[in-house]
Amino acid sequence: MATKTDKLLAVLKLQPVVPVLIIDDVVHAVPLAKALVAGGLKAIEITMRTSAALEAVKRVAGEVEGAVVGAGTILNAAHYEAAVAAGSQFIVSPGTTAEVLAAAAASDIPLLPGAATASEVMNLREKGYEVLKFFPAEQAGGAAYLKSLSSPLAGTLFCPTGGISLKNAMDYLSLPNVVCVGGSWVAPKDLVAAGDWAGITKLASEACALKG
């Protein structure tokens, strides 16, 4: 487990913001990932919420130099295995189930499991997880809530995701128990649809400049 934690931390420490992408059309995957990498955001999460997602992971993994692609919204073992087979280098789940944890235990690819309560964090810590996704961040209590966990649950690091934007990202990044944040604002649907890759690179550069 320690090796997997180190692997995961190496990815999450690449940048302050991990783009969380919903890709509807697979033709956007490679140019979008290239635009994000050009702006300094190398670790990219592609969520398994569309029929194009797996192929998008495969293409980014195979064609985008410098990208570290992961799969998000992993809900079961079949999702986990398919995402790994497509080339995912890390896996993200919105919450945690016994099935997802079993799939993670059987794989060399690290899991960033979701948690929103102190009890969920404690349960994951018992299983050896030290780095967790805090989701949905804003709706679950925001930066103030996460700050309140830093003392009783010291030693746990979080990647908060959900409702985070350029405006409130520093509220999280300034916390001692936050390693990075996840956000979709760096790849707005209108810019993706328009193929405005330069605009996305600019947003990525702004996000990359944020420091905790």
**List 4, 42, 133, 138, catalytic entry:** 133
Gap between the Cα atoms of 86 and 70, Å rounded: 10
- pLDDT at position 212 is 60
The pLDDT value recorded for residue 130 is 97
Region of residue 181 (phi > 0: left; psi between -120 and 50: alpha; otherwise: beta): beta
Q: Active-site residue among 4, 45, 58, 138?
A: 45
Residue 2 has a pLDDT of: 84
pLDDT at site 1: 85
Pairing of strands 131-134, 157-160: parallel
Chunked into runs of 10 residues, the chain (212 residues) has average pLDDT values of 94 98 98 98 98 98 98 98 98 98 98 98 97 98 98 97 97 98 97 97 97 71
Secondary-structure percent of the chain, ordered helix, strand, coil, rounded to 5: 45, 15, 40
Q: Is the pTM of this model over 0.75?
A: yes
- Residue 42 a catalytic site member: no
45 is catalytic: yes
pLDDT at 211: 82
Short-list 76, 158, 111, CA closest to 1: 111
Yes or no: say if 133 and 92 are a contact pair by the CB < 8 Å rule.
yes
How far, in Å, CA of 212 to CA of 200, rounded?
22
Provide the pLDDT for residue 205: 97
What three-state secondary structure class fits 94?
coil
E strand intervals along the chain: 17-21, 43-47, 68-72, 91-92, 111-112, 114-115, 131-134, 157-160, 181-183
Confidence at residue 162, expressed as pLDDT on a 0 to 100 scale: 97
Q: Strands of 157-160's sheet, edge to edge?
A: 114-115, 131-134, 157-160
Distances (CA, A) of 182 to 63, 168, 169: 23, 12, 9
- Structural domains of the chain, with CATH: 2-203 (3.20.20.70)
